[in-house]
Amino acid sequence: MCGIVGYTGKRPAVPILLEGMRRLEYRGYDSAGIVIYENGGLTLKKKAGMLSVLEETINGSNFTANAGIGHTRWATHGAPTDDNAHPHIDCSGRIAVVHNGIIENYIKLRQWLKAEGHIFQSDTDTEVLPHLIEQFYRGDLQAALLKTMEMISGSYAILAVCHDEPGRIVVARQDSPMVLGLGEGENFIASDIPALLPHTRNTYLLDDGELADVTPGGITVCDKKGVCVNKEVFYVNWEAEQAEKSGYEHFMLKEIHEQPTALRETLRGRISEDGQSVVLNELDIDPAYIKGLRKVFITACGTAYHAGVVGKYVIEKLARIPVEVDIASEFRYRDPIIGPGDLVIVVSQSGETADTRAALREARQRGARVVAITNVVGSSVAREADDVIYTWAGPEIAVASTKAYVTQLTVFYLLAVWLAEQRGTLLVREQEAILDSLKKLPRHIETLLAQSDRIAQLADRYKESHCMFFLGRGLDYAVAMEGSLKLKEISYIHAEAYAAGELKHGTLALVVEGVPVIALATQPELFEKTVSNIKEVKARGAEVIGVAIEGFMEIEEVADQVFYLPATHPALAPILSVVPLQLFAYFAAVARECSVDKPRNLAKSVTVE
């Protein structure tokens, strides 16, 4: 997520803007910029790289401006370059905008604006905004932004300034956070509270569809029709560090709770308006190549690998293409039988994992086409692959991956339906049913998050366990792998994921009185079998927590505790069943007073072999 700041008042604006941007650095970014009202006009400074690079271009400038806006960019559309950095300006340079979010219909708008004579300087979706405001500007910046809001679809938090209206900052919000700070003869704007705390704790939290007009003398808020809205003052009683986590105790918990938004952002613009097909404009693959595909390979590490195991199941199930999935550090050394006509999918949240990058190069050397699924625009994996499908989860700070996993699964579902459509292996109504269920998942995740207290109680009950088993069949086995890794890496409790049907071939010997087992039983055609496996471990004294789809009540007869998931298409169950497992691991780690966000021995991105 990008960081946005704004100031208008009586003090020098540049130090306030830079301090605010520094306080938002934790959100992750790859370029930064400001625009200020200086000497009767707009002065723009922006650079790729860290804030220090921007500061080098500003130091010694002795700016006296008392108003301006700033931005730290987490790239989504367009690599992190000087031109793609915010703020963006219109043709005349008299209007400047910063933006957080995704303008879904930017391609059509860009085409229309070009036809109207506008010249673009960047590859970003954001740059349509200053040109739209320019197109509609008739002397009132707020009126021009209101018209712009009518034209755009997607998520946005926008700040706009105009050369002809010094000291005025106009703000609009839809789906991306925006907070207004109330001062004495000065006012502040930020995408997140930490940037406001040095100056004020009195704020307005802008709501979706609202627009604010900010000057040193005051703030007025209106709706999309220009009708004034009375806002209540929200007093912030968090300290700065808490504010970076939006009030959550750890980044991991914040990121678990960000999953509904991350999923919505990753789906945004990728399902056709009629809801029947997938739109993946970022894939530039000849349909004949897809039809002639011999095999798909998926390779990744850790959680990304677990996402790949789900990917295998869904691509084979929906697109009927054989899929092999490998841990990247194994893939690169097993002399894989790969060549032209094969598709290799590499998955990496950071896009910098050494083993995954090496596997990517191995695949390309053997002539396969490589598609990357990654969360970081411009990362090594993104640059080296033939095609990239971005997860739009925003920066993931906690070492334990959560929202990245859920958005990786989302991309696999989109890709599986897209492949199925290319190869004609699904009926349109089947595609429609899956995509319709996919769109409902964010709300379902919110339902599950509301059960956190119950999961915390269970985690506390098992926090002293020496080991734990995660069982499942098919897709449930794939999610069991992820649940097991989450518990191990942050609570340090040894855990093992096991194919439920495989237990009796050895590992059942480890199941004795009191051993905790989480059994996933979300797949209708495997439900009875998994219930039998639960009986197997119960008969040896295990304590079982069952996870099933609502309505499959039989599981209550065998499991000690049951978590029900909202009904969804069985293929999509992993996106829901992983949530209680993430929360269980989190609360177990908290109960054991572990370092949740930075577990021992681990790094967020393993850039060495």
| Residues that are catalytic | 2, 604
**Which of the ranges 152-160, 200-208, 214-222, 344-352 carries the binding residues for ligand AGP, by CB under 6 A?**
344-352
* 301 interacts with ligand AGP by CB under 6 A: yes
CB of 384 to ligand AGP, least distance (A): 13
* 399 interacts with ligand AGP by CB under 6 A: yes
Among 124, 401, 568, 577, binds ligand AGP (CB under 6 A): 401
Residue 137 or residue 586: which is nearer to ligand AGP going by CB? 586
Rounded to 10 degrees, what is the CA torsion of 549, 444, 125, 104? Answer: 90
Instruction: List, as one string, the DSSP characters of 299-348.
Output: EE-HHHHHHHHHHHHHHHHHH---EEEEEHHHHTTS-----TTEEEEEEE
* 329 interacts with ligand AGP by CB under 6 A: no
Residue 237 or residue 601: which is nearer to ligand AGP going by CB? 601
**Which of the ranges 28-36, 204-212, 301-309, 448-456 carries the binding residues for ligand AGP, by CB under 6 A?**
301-309
CB of 145 to ligand AGP, least distance (A): 38
Q: Is 189 helix (H, G, I), strand (E, B) or coil?
A: strand
Residue 70 or residue 483: which is nearer to ligand AGP going by CB? 483
CB of 101 to ligand AGP, least distance (A): 24
CB of 349 to ligand AGP, least distance (A): 3
Question: In whole angstroms, what is the distance from residue 545 CA to residue 490 CA?
Answer: 20
Q: Is 205 helix (H, G, I), strand (E, B) or coil?
A: strand
CB of 581 to ligand AGP, least distance (A): 12
* 259 interacts with ligand AGP by CB under 6 A: no
**Which of the ranges 53-61, 80-88, 342-350, 457-465 carries the binding residues for ligand AGP, by CB under 6 A?**
342-350
Beta bridge partners of 505: none
**Which of the ranges 205-213, 236-244, 343-351, 511-519 carries the binding residues for ligand AGP, by CB under 6 A?**
343-351
**Which of the ranges 115-123, 144-152, 348-356, 510-518 carries the binding residues for ligand AGP, by CB under 6 A?**
348-356
**Which of the ranges 148-156, 259-267, 345-353, 505-513 carries the binding residues for ligand AGP, by CB under 6 A?**
345-353
How many residues contact ligand AGP, by CB under 6 A?
15
Among 124, 303, 391, 523, binds ligand AGP (CB under 6 A): 303
Residue 323 or residue 596: which is nearer to ligand AGP going by CB? 596
Contact 325, 335 (CB under 8 A): no
End-to-end CA distance of the chain: 29
Residue 206 or residue 399: which is nearer to ligand AGP going by CB? 399
* 327 interacts with ligand AGP by CB under 6 A: no
CA distance readout (Å), 529 to 328, 416, 539, 548: 32, 27, 15, 13
Write out the binding residues for ligand AGP, residues 510-549 only, by CB under 6 A.
Answer: none
Write out the binding residues for ligand AGP, residues 456-495 only, by CB under 6 A.
Answer: 489
CA distance readout (Å), 335 to 363, 365, 609: 10, 12, 18
Place of tokens 């070009």: 114
Q: Is the backbone peptide bond immediately before 87 cis, with ω within 30 degrees of 0?
A: yes
CB of 401 to ligand AGP, least distance (A): 4
For residue 360, give the nearest of 394, 396, 336, 393 by alpha carbon: 336
Rounded to 10 degrees, what is the CA torsion of 170, 175, 176, 178? Answer: 50
Instruction: List, as one string, the DSSP characters of 266-304.
Output: HHTT-B-TTSSSB--TT----HHHHHT--EEEEEE-HHH
Q: Is 393 helix (H, G, I), strand (E, B) or coil?
A: coil
Strand order in the sheet with 154-162: 88-89, 95-103, 154-162, 169-174, 210-215, 218-222, 228-229
* 348 interacts with ligand AGP by CB under 6 A: yes
For residue 436, give both structure tokens.
């319709």
Question: In whole angstroms, what is the distance from residue 354 CA to residue 371 CA?
Answer: 17
For residue 253, give both structure tokens.
């918990």
Question: In whole angstroms, what is the distance from residue 279 CA to residue 385 CA?
Answer: 20
* 302 interacts with ligand AGP by CB under 6 A: yes
Q: In sequence order, which residues have a C-beta less than 8 Å from that of residue 580 and are 6 or more positions away?
A: 448, 451, 455, 547, 563
Chain residue whose CB lies nearest ligand AGP: 302
* 588 interacts with ligand AGP by CB under 6 A: no
Residue 44 or residue 606: which is nearer to ligand AGP going by CB? 606
Among 356, 407, 491, 522, binds ligand AGP (CB under 6 A): 356
**Which of the ranges 112-120, 298-306, 513-521, 575-583 carries the binding residues for ligand AGP, by CB under 6 A?**
298-306
For residue 207, give the nearest of 218, 228, 190, 223 by alpha carbon: 223
* 350 interacts with ligand AGP by CB under 6 A: yes
Residue 350 or residue 523: which is nearer to ligand AGP going by CB? 350
* 309 interacts with ligand AGP by CB under 6 A: no
Binding residues for ligand AGP, per CB under 6 A? 301-304, 348-350, 353, 356, 399-401, 489, 605-606
